[in-house]
Amino acid sequence: TGRGTSGFRVMAVSTETTGVVTRMEQLLNMDTTPFTDKIIAEYIWVGGTGIDLRSKSRTISKPVEDPSELPKWNYDGSSTGQAPGEDSEVILYPQAIFKDPFRGGNNILVMCDTYTPAGEPIPTNKRNRAAQVFSDPKVVSQVPWFGIEQEYTLLQRDVNWPLGWPVGGYPGPQGPYYCAVGSDKSFGRDISDAHYKACLYAGINISGTNGEVMPGQWEYQVGPSVGIEAGDHIWISRYILERITEQAGVVLTLDPKPIQGDWNGAGCHTNYSTKSMREDGGFEVIKKAILNLSLRHDLHISAYGEGNERRLTGLHETASIDNFSWGVANRGCSIRVGRDTEAKGKGYLEDRRPASNMDPYVVTALLAETTILWEPTLEAEVLAAKKLALKV
Ligand code: ADP
Ligand code: MN
Ligand code: MN
Ligand code: MN
């Protein structure tokens, strides 16, 4: 008897119950490693809206350790809004691999970016540009760290109304829900927790989770991660979250302000530091970075997510989208510096502007570019320093 067939038959007939679900679960959970070297690789990429994720599977002849061992692949870009029908092929380049928490075994998730057949990055490929920034020797020597706080909102399917909210109505006002416990205050914990473990299993540098201020809204943090890894890990963590919510029959939204009115929006605070910021005297480097950021506020805002103007109102722990501001321990500022960083004279800054639907490749690369590679003119610098009451 062949290895594959006997193994399969044993799993299929030895089951006590004959329920379809049980047999299906057994197949889904089946460990294929005793029977074949082959693995399944799930190739994942960012689709045409710049926020949708797409993926498809293929068999690889044996387990792999590094994305360079994987073949390039292609897909129909005319079906994802990424290529015209008459020349529809988009090429996938494997860039980072993770263990697959859904299939287990040696199966993997593969973060890819997207190219034309001639090898040009397509317009929605934001990773390529980010990889360039993060391989610049000046940036490399500053070992940029990012800690990203991904907020998200869970919706009841069909009605598209937050989880735990009465359909056609509203829950009691915000206050009791943040970091809450109890069936009248916390909605969707199993999803948050399943996602946490799945991310750890996959090898994502997830650092924590919490329930958010708006009921049905959650957060997890990824980092600190170095350079391009921050973007790869956030995108794969979002993919895993889409898969888990799919299983749960719940809709994931990364809209920055899912419910208008007196309800918190959803952001993606990006905590950031360079080597010089983490060393003695780092607070001065942080202040200089804040000065640079103030001069490029509009550019950053334009790259920080669609619909962010509905969120950055100056209310609900945000700063107004029109004005750049910074402060120590102030959650109503564009940039917050922690008490700890002020006290130690070194540490990191928190950019509170990015929306939950931001592209982490864009945001991390722009932060590095503005604070490490870009220099304002002397006049602009003097003016900005005065305006922000910063001595640089
Ligand atoms: P908040 O108080 O704003 O809710 P969180 O605890 O949710 O902050 O997230 C802070 C994030 O900052 C974490 O992901 C953490 O790993 C990250 N972080 C900590 N130190 C640094 C640093 N020096 N540089 C960049 N990120 C950091
Ligand atoms: Mn947080
Ligand atoms: Mn939060
Ligand atoms: Mn924060």
pLDDT, tens digit, for every residue of 27-70?
999 999 999 999 999 999 999 999 999 999 999 999 999 999 99
How far is the centre of ligand 4, averaged over its atoms, from the C-alpha of 352 (Å)? 7
Burial of 145 (0-12, 13-18, 19+ CB in 10 A): buried
End-to-end CA distance of the chain: 76
- Cα(138) to ligand 2 centroid in Å equals 29
pLDDT score for 85:
79
pLDDT of residue 16: 53
Strand residue runs (E) in 63-107: 73-76, 89-99
> Residue 7: pLDDT band by 50, 70, 90 thresholds?
very low
What confidence score (pLDDT) does residue 339 get? 97
pLDDT value, residue 95: 98
Closest ligand 1 atom, CA of 272?
25
Indicate which residue's Cα is closest to atom 12 of ligand 1.
Answer: 147
Query: Which residue minimizes the CA distance to atom 17 of ligand 1?
Result: 147
Q: How far is the CA of 362 from the centre of ligand 2 (A)?
A: 20
Calpha distance 123→121 (Å, rounded)? 7
Calculate how far, in angstroms, residue 357's C-alpha sits from the geometric centre of ligand 3: 14
How far does the centroid of ligand 4 lie from the alpha carbon of residue 380, in Å? 29
Residue nearest to ligand 1 atom 8, measured at CA: 149
- pLDDT value at 18 more than 90: no
Given a cut of 70, is residue 6 above it in pLDDT? no
Atom nearest to 338 CA in ligand 1: 2
Residue 316 — very low, low, confident or very high, per pLDDT cuts 50/70/90?
Answer: confident
pLDDT of residue 390: 77
In the chain, alpha helices (H): 3-13, 20-29, 127-135, 137-141, 189-202, 229-248, 275-278, 282-295, 297-302, 308-311, 339-344, 360-368, 378-387
Residue to probe by mutation, ligand 1, list 150, 152, 178, 221, most atoms within 8 Å of CB? 221
Of the listed ligands, the closest to the CA of 352 is 4
Kindly report the average pLDDT of the chain as a whole number: 93
Q: Do residues 207 and 241 touch, judged by C-beta distance below 8 A?
A: no
Of the given ranges (18-27, 75-84, 158-167, 320-329), which has the lowest mean pLDDT? Answer: 18-27
Give yes or no for residue 132 having a pLDDT over 90. Answer: yes
Task: Write down the pLDDT at residue 392.
Answer: 56
User: What is the band of 224 on the pLDDT scale with cuts at 50, 70, 90?
Assistant: very high
Proximal ligand: closest to the CA of 223: 1
Q: Which of 32-41, 185-194, 224-233, 380-389 has the lowest mean pLDDT?
A: 380-389
What is the SS3 assignment for 313? Answer: strand
Percent of the chain with pLDDT over 70: 94
The residue contributing the CA closest to ligand 1 atom 4 is 149
Question: What is the model's pLDDT at position 87?
Answer: 84
CB 207 within 8 Å of CB 256 = no
Mean pLDDT confidence for 188-206: 98
Tell me how far the alpha carbon of residue 350 lies from the centroid of ligand 4, in angstroms.
7
- Tell me the average pLDDT across 94-112: 97
User: Is the pLDDT score of 9 beyond 80?
Assistant: no
**Which residue has its alpha carbon closest to ligand 1 atom 1?**
149
**How far is the centre of ligand 4, averaged over its atoms, from the C-alpha of 148 (Å)?**
8
Per-residue pLDDT at 389: 82
Ligand that lies nearest to the alpha carbon of residue 207, given by its number in the listed order: 1
Q: What mean pLDDT do residues 134-144 have?
A: 98
Query: CA 128, 129, 130, 136 torsion: positive or negative?
Result: positive
pLDDT of residue 4: 37
Q: Which pLDDT score, from 0 to 100, does residue 360 have?
A: 98
Give pLDDT, residue 13. 44
pLDDT in tens, 267-298: 999 999 999 999 999 999 999 999 999 999 99
pLDDT of residue 17: 53
Give nearest CA residue, ligand 1 atom 18: 147
CA nearest 150: which of 84, 119, 118, 195? Answer: 195
Instruction: Using a pLDDT cut of 90, give the percent of the chain over it.
Output: 89
Span from the CA of 107 to the centroid of ligand 2 (angstroms)? 32
How confident is the model at residue 19, as a pLDDT? Answer: 66
How far does residue 149's CA lie from ligand 3's centre (Å)?
7
Ligand 1 binding pocket (C-beta < 6 A) is: 145-147, 149, 207, 221, 223-224, 269, 271-273, 278, 347-348, 350
CA-to-CA distance for 139 and 150, rounded, in angstroms?
24
Atom of ligand 1 nearest to the CA of 347: 23
Residue nearest ligand 1's atom 11 by CA: 147
Question: CA 186, CA 191: separation in Å to the nearest integer?
Answer: 11
Substitution site in 233, 271, 339 for ligand 1 pocket (most atoms within 8 Å of beta carbon): 271
